[in-house]
Copies of this chain bind each other. A is one copy, B any other.
Amino acid sequence: MTTPTRAAVDVVVVGSGSGGKMVAQQLAGAGRRVVLVERGYVGGFCPFLACVPAKSLLLSARAELSWVAARAVRDEAASHRDDSGAAAQLSGDGVEVVRGSATRVAPGVVEVDLHSGGHRVVEAAHVVVGTGSASVRPPLPGLDGAATWTSEEALSAADLPDRLVVLGGGPVAVELAQAYRGLGSEVTLVQRGPHLLSREPSWVGGVLADALTADGVDVRTGDPAVEVVDGGLRLESGAVLGFDRLLLATGRAPVTGGFGFPDDWLTEAGALRTDARCRVVGDDGPVEGLFAVGDVTGVSDYTHTANHQARTVVAELLGRGRDADYSAIPRAVYTDPTVFCVGATSGARSARFEVRQVERADLVELSRRREVTGAVELFVDDAGVLVGAACVGPDADSWGAELALAVRARLDVDLLWHHVRAFPTWSEAIFPALEELHGASAP
C-alpha cells in the first residue's frame, strides 16, 4: 500500500447528490478551494436512478408511450446513467472531483480509497457530509432467492416485467406502481399498514388507492407480506401473489456506515444529527467544522430539502449564516392525481373540500372524459394561522405551492380568505375550505 497523498483545501464534500453538489459548486463559485468525493454517480441518485427517471416514466405512462419508447425517454432523461457530463460541469465550476470511497470522515479530514487505486487524505477547514440514503431490504423470509428490484433497479431496468409486485406504500411505491401499470405491467401493491402514504391524512391514501385501482393496480392494504414462497409472495391473509419482479420500496436509511461516527452524533434512526445551521451535533453541541446535508440528516428525503440545507451551509461558510427552515417543506408525490402536502396535517382544526366541485373539474371532465378526484384539506392552529395542507388532484404540485408559502409565511385564515383566486383554476378548491374555517358564510 502506497502512502496516502495529502492535500489541504477549504472544503471537502463527501457525496455529490443534489445537496453536496450545490455546496461544492456555490463555494467554488465564491472562490473557495473545494474537493468533492463521490464513490458512485457524480450528481447522486436523483438524476440517474431516482427522481428524474421516476417522473419520466410517470409522464410517459400518462402520455401513453409504449414501454420501449418510455424506456428510451427515461434513459435520455437520466443521461443514460452517464455521469461524465455532471463531473465535467463540476470541474468547469472549479470543483475538484475525486472518485473514490471515503473510508474516514472527521472534522478537518477525509480519507479516500480511490477508484483509480491508492489512497488519498484530504484535509480541509470544513467537511460537508452528503452521503445520502440507501434502500432498506425488509427482513422477509425467502427473499434471498427471489427476483427482487430496488427502486434504483426498477428505474434502470431493461425489461418490463409481466407481473410486478410492489412492496411498500410510500411515495416511491405508489409512483412506480402507477408508472409500471401505465406502461403495461400487471401490478399488485402490498402495503402493510391500513392506507397508502401512511404519514399523511388517511383520506389522501384513500384517494390514491382509488386512483390506482381505477388504473388497474391491485391495491392490498392492511395485509402484510409474510414470506416469499415458491410461486410468489405470501401475505398474512394467506393470499399468494405471483410475480416476475418484486419491487422492494419499504423505505430508505441514511448512509453513515464505515465512517466511525460516534453514537452521540447519530439519531435513533441512524441519521447524522444536525442543528439549524446544518452543523453536525453531538451531546456537547456542534462539532467544529463538520456539516451534513441531504438524506443523511434524516430531515426529509427530498432533493429540495437537500438544496435548502446546501444553501444554509453555503451561507454559513460565507459568513452570512441563517437557520434552515423546515416548516414548509413540500411533500410531493407525482402520481395522477398528484399529492402535495406541507406542514402539519394532523392535530389541528381542519376543513376539506373536494376538487371535483370546482368549475375547472367540470371542464376537464367534459373535454377529456376523465374523472377528476382529490381534495384539499387545510389545517390551522388556535390563532387561525395555516400550519399545514394536504392537496390531492390534477396539478396539485403546482396549485398546492400557494399553501406551502402560506405555511412558511405563517399567514392566517383571514388573509387567505380575503385573497382572490382566479376563475376557473384548481386553486378555487382552496376557498371553500377557507370559508369553512373562517366562518365567513355565517350571517
Interface residues of A (CB under 8 A from B): 18, 26, 29-31, 46, 51-52, 55-56, 59-60, 62-63, 65, 70, 73, 76-77, 302-305, 307-308, 311, 315, 318, 322, 325, 328-330, 332, 340, 359-360, 362-364, 366-368, 395, 397-399, 401-402, 404-406, 408-409, 411, 415-416, 418-427, 440-441, 443
- Measured CB to CB, the nearest residue on chain B to A430 is B401
Question: Once the chains bind, are B409 and A73 in contact (CB under 8 Å)?
Answer: no
Contacts A56-B363, A60-B367, A364-B59 given: A408-B419 contact, CB under 8 Å? yes
A26, A409, A415, A419 — most chain B CB neighbours (10 Å): A419
- The one of B55, B63, B368, B419 in contact with A424, judged by C-beta atoms closer than 8 angstroms, is B55
Please, which residues of chain B bring their CB within 8 A of the CB of A404?
402, 419-422
How many Å from the CB of A303 to the closest CB on chain B? 4
How many Å from the CB of A120 to the closest CB on chain B? 28
Question: Once the chains bind, are A425 and B332 in contact (CB under 8 Å)?
Answer: yes
Question: Once the chains bind, are B59 and A29 in contact (CB under 8 Å)?
Answer: no
Question: Once the chains bind, are A420 and B367 in contact (CB under 8 Å)?
Answer: no
Please, which residues of chain B bring their CB within 8 A of the CB of A402?
401-402, 404-405
How many Å from the CB of A53 to the closest CB on chain B? 10
- The one of B318, B330, B415, B441 in contact with A421, judged by C-beta atoms closer than 8 angstroms, is B330
Copies in the complex: 2
How many Å from the CB of A168 to the closest CB on chain B? 21
Known: A55-B424, A73-B367, A322-B418. 15 other contacts (CB 8 A): A18-B423, A29-B441, A51-B423, A52-B359, A56-B363, A59-B367, A77-B367, A302-B423, A303-B424, A307-B423, A328-B420, A329-B420, A330-B422, A397-B425, A401-B425
Question: Once the chains bind, are B363 and A421 in contact (CB under 8 Å)?
Answer: no
Bound state CA distance, A404 and B406, in angstroms? Answer: 11
Question: Once the chains bind, are A330 and B420 in contact (CB under 8 Å)?
Answer: yes
Bound state CA distance, A29 and B60, in angstroms? Answer: 48
How many Å from the CB of A1 to the closest CB on chain B? 40
- Measured CB to CB, the nearest residue on chain B to A419 is B408
Bound state CA distance, A322 and B418, in angstroms? Answer: 10
